Amino acid sequence: MFEVLVFVYENYWRGDACPAPEQLGRKLSAQGFDADEIREALHWLDGLSHATQGIQLVRHADETTATVGIRSRSDEVIPQSPHSIRVYSNAEQEHIGAECLGFISFLESSGVLPTGMREIVIERAMATSGEPLTIDELKIIVLMVHWSTGVEPDALVLDELCDDASERVAH
């Protein structure tokens, strides 16, 4: 499934540029992807689309920072309290794994993954098969959440998410 998601990300730079599921399925099939992988990826992308519908990017007055919030019923964006913490359930800890949860924490503390997007990343990670999730699979999920919301990550963050750390050479 993750190979299909990478193909979609690379060929449709923004979520709104992606064709309808039926047409996308035909294109993926023409590219030689397995029918089961296509079906699983389309189901996962549908869940991503539903999860990101209530997301709104809010720019602060200084234009240097942005937050992502979830719209409430009153159409107000509800930010997370700066004093709150995220407690992961046992199922989340087992499925996502310690390395990936550490990476999520790193992205969140770096300001790359606002709380609203973090919750979507966790929800979409839990919607995958296989345990525990690998760091490369998590990076694809983070990229796809950014892709779906239209929030472009910083160039250095994008490099970190797309780079294969195993090929790095220490200086």
Phi, psi of 58 (to 5 degrees): -120, 120
170 vs 125 pLDDT, higher one: 125
Q: What is the pLDDT of residue 36?
A: 94
Q: What is the pLDDT of residue 64?
A: 47
- Identify the H or E element spanning 105: helix 98-109
Range picked from 3-17, 20-34, 67-81, 148-162 for highest mean pLDDT: 20-34
Q: Domain segments of the chain: what residues?
A: 2-167
Q: What is the pLDDT of residue 130?
A: 78
Q: What is the pLDDT of residue 166?
A: 54
Question: How far apart, in Å, are the Cα atoms of 17 and each of 5, 43, 45, 74, 121?
Answer: 14, 18, 13, 30, 21
Phi, psi of 137 (to 5 degrees): -65, -40
Q: What is the pLDDT of residues 129-140, one digit of tens each?
A: 877 899 999 999
Q: What is the pLDDT of residues 42-89, one digit of tens each?
A: 999 999 988 887 665 554 444 444 455 554 445 555 666 667 788 999
Mean pLDDT, the chain, rounded, equals 80
Q: In the sheet that 55-59 helps form, which strands lie side by side, from edge to edge? A: 55-59, 66-71, 77-78
Q: What is the pLDDT of residue 90?
A: 95
Is the pLDDT at 119 greater than 60? The verdict is yes
Average pLDDT over residues 2-12: 90
| Percentage of the chain modeled with pLDDT above 70 | 73
- The rounded distance, in Å, linking the Cα atoms of 19 and 124 is 20
Average pLDDT over residues 109-137: 89
